[in-house]
Every structure is written in C-alpha cells, then in structure tokens.
C-alpha cells in the first residue's frame, strides 16, 4: 500500500508540475489570427452514422466492412479536392488499407493529421473513433476550400485497436515508418481520437489520478491536446491556436509516456519515429461511460461542439503551416 501511494504521488508530482508550469507560470500566448471556416454539424452526424451503422462492425475480423469504410473515406476525400492514394499492407495473411489524401503544394516538409476508422471489436464505435474520422473528412472540406501553403496529409488509419494496438501492425505505424524510410520531414502530426462526447454534468470528468482535479475542470465540456514531455512545444502551440475558437474550452497536458492515456492513439507511432506528435481528444474513457461499449452510438454525441473542435484543428493547422 505504501509503495502504491508513493508511485501515485510521484505521478502526481511529475504530471502536476508539468501542467502547473504550463498553465500558471507559462500561460499560453494569445491565439494567432485564424479563419476557422464553417463546419456543418449535420454533415458530421451523417459521417458518424454511416461509420457506426452502415459499415458496422468494422473491427479487424471484418475486413470487408473495413474496405467499405476505406472506400467511403476515399470518395469523400476526393470530393473535397484531395489527391487520394491507398496504402495497403498485410497482417497475418489479410490485406488492410490506410487512406491518404494530399492537400497543398509539394513542399520539403509536411503536416500529418490522422484518425483511425477501425473499432475495438464488433462495436458501433461512434465516438471511438467515428467522431475523429468525421472530423478528418470535414477538415478535408475546409482544406479543399482554402488550400494550405504546405503539403498536408490527411490519413485514415486502420488497425489502431486491439489486438494490434501498440504493435508494428498498426496502420499509423506502417505510415510513420514509411515516411521515415523515405526521409520525409514531418513538421507535426496530430491524431484526432474521440472528439465528440461532451457533457455539462458536474463531476463528469475523471483523470488518471484524482489530484489532477486541482489543475483541470471537473466537468467534461472541453477538448484536450495531449502529448509526451519533450514534444518540442507542439502541445502548447496547438492548444494556443485552437483557442481562437472562443466558444470551445481547450486544455492541454504534456506528460511522460508512462502516464496512463498519454500514448493511447496513433500519435505514438510518429513519436516512435522521432516526429513531433500530439493527440486531440475528449479524453475518451475518462469522460465517456459508453467507451468500448455497444452503447457508443451516433445519437450520444454533441455535433455542434464537435464542429468547434474541427474548426480549432483547422486553426492549429494554419498556425503550424506558417513559415
């Protein structure tokens, strides 16, 4: 018991000190100028409903539905104006595919924004991660309307979920390793991971350690930018830019990889290759009681606030794309 509390206290000291330093001693700068664009909540709802109903189930044991979902992504990314390609790879004799869309001119550096379209088992996966994919598709629409000054890759990943989570078979790991092998310079990578569940209920937000409530809200009405310590300031830069969307509360946290939840998405694949990467999330199971449950359905999400998240990501992209 003593060791347990010593370890827990150490985690609080490390993460609490990091968060406090960022929040109080080094306040975020004012958001840079941004044109967030217009995001239609009903389109987000349409995407999430299609993913969670039409292509259900879309776990690794249903590759035919994953293929149908990949075609859906490719079609919408093409319509938005992206140059689309598929990145096939084989796992245990079965072929799976990442969907990649390029926006903007060919430049030495690029920015990668991705979301996984598979689910953990035969579940609807509306928030995890239909919401992230829907956000990716709406971001594509904004980039098609206003092309970025640097090359941006939007990627729909497969095989993020168990049993391949944290393995070499993750779609994001395949993509990140391919970029590194080709010598591609990645200015930043952002993973959209569960971005659609918000609540105004008191004490609805939970944390890996309870003491983080001293530093962060107890109500789950905000979006979070998360990354590992030593991220080169990416988490702070993205959080500051997202705050240009004034109606959207934005929190941020950098912590060691050993801290629970810090590496729970595709951004970890890019960090493993030495790229700057961060996750944008509603905090998943620390807030959403339907996480990895059959009740994670399209009608439980907040599409108005999800649209604000997409606008915030668009502002972050504009900030990252500046020379």
- Quick: pLDDT tens for 171-189: 999 999 999 999 999 999 9
What angle in degrees, to the nearest 10, is found between the helix axes of 41-49 and 132-145? 130
Q: Tell me how far apart the alpha carbons of residues 240 and 228 are, in angstroms, rounded to a whole number.
A: 17
Which is higher by pLDDT, 209 or 99?
99
Q: How confident is the model at residue 260 (pLDDT cuts 50, 70, 90)?
A: confident
Query: What pLDDT is recorded for position 311?
Result: 98
Q: Are 304 and 41 in contact (CB under 8 A)?
A: yes
- Whether 8 shows a pLDDT value over 90: the answer reads no
Tokens linked to 50: 């299609």
- pLDDT one-digit tens code per residue, 23-71: 434 678 888 899 999 999 999 999 999 999 999 999 999 999 999 999 9
In this predicted structure, what is the pLDDT of residue 28? Answer: 84
Phi, psi for residue 115 in degrees, rounded to 5 = -155, 140
For the chain, what are the domain ranges? 2-321
Tokens for 195, please give them.
């971005």
- Average pLDDT on 275-295 reads 97
Compute the average pLDDT of residues 245-251: 96
Per-residue pLDDT of 132-150, as tens digits, reads 999 999 999 999 999 999 9
- C-alpha 44/C-alpha 52 separation (Å) is 12
**Domain 2-321, CATH homologous superfamily name and number:** Zn peptidases (3.40.630.10)
- Give the tens place of pLDDT for each residue, 104-135: 999 999 999 999 999 999 999 999 999 999 99
pTM listed for this prediction? 0.92
With beta carbons less than 8 A apart as the criterion, state whether 166 and 268 touch: yes
With beta carbons less than 8 A apart as the criterion, state whether 259 and 208 touch: yes
Average of per-residue pLDDT across 191-199: 98
């Amino acid at each position: 018991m003593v060791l347990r509390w010593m370890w827990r206290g150490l985690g609080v000291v490390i993460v609490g000190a990091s968060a406090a330093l960022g929040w109080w001693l080094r306040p975020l700068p004012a958001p840079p100028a941004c044109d967030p664009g217009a995001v239609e909540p009903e389109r987000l709802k349409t995407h999430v409903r299609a993913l969670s109903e039409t292509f259900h189930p879309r776990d690794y044991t249903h590759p035919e539905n994953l293929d149908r979902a990949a075609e859906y992504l490719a079609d919408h990314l093409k319509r938005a104006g992206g140059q689309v390609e598929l990145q096939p790879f084989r796992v245990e004799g079965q072929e799976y595919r990442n969907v990649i869309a390029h926006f903007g001119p060919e430049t030495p550096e690029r920015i990668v924004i991705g979301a996984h379209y598979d689910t953990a088992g035969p579940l609807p996966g509306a928030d995890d991660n239909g919401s992230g994919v829907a956000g990716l598709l709406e971001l594509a629409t904004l980039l098609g309307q206003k092309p970025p000054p640097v090359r941006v890759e939007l990627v729909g990943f497969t095989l993020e979920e168990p049993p391949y989570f944290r393995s070499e078979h993750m779609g994001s790991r395949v993509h990140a390793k391919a970029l590194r092998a080709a010598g591609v310079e990645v200015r930043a990578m952002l993973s959209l991971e569960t971005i659609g569940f918000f609540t105004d209920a008191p004490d609805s937000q939970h944390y890996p350690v309870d003491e983080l409530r001293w530093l962060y809200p107890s109500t789950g009405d905000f979006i979070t930018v998360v990354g590992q310590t030593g991220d080169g300031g990416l988490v702070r830069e993205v959080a500051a830019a997202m705050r240009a969307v004034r109606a959207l509360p934005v929190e941020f946290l950098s912590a060691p990889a050993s801290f629970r939840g810090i590496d729970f998405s595709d951004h970890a694949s890019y960090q493993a290759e030495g790229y700057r990467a961060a996750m944008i999330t509603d905090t998943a199971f620390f807030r959403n009681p339907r996480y990895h449950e059959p009740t994670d359905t399209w009608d439980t999400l907040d599409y108005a606030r999800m649209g604000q998240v997409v606008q915030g990501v668009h502002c972050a992209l504009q900030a990252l794309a500046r020379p």
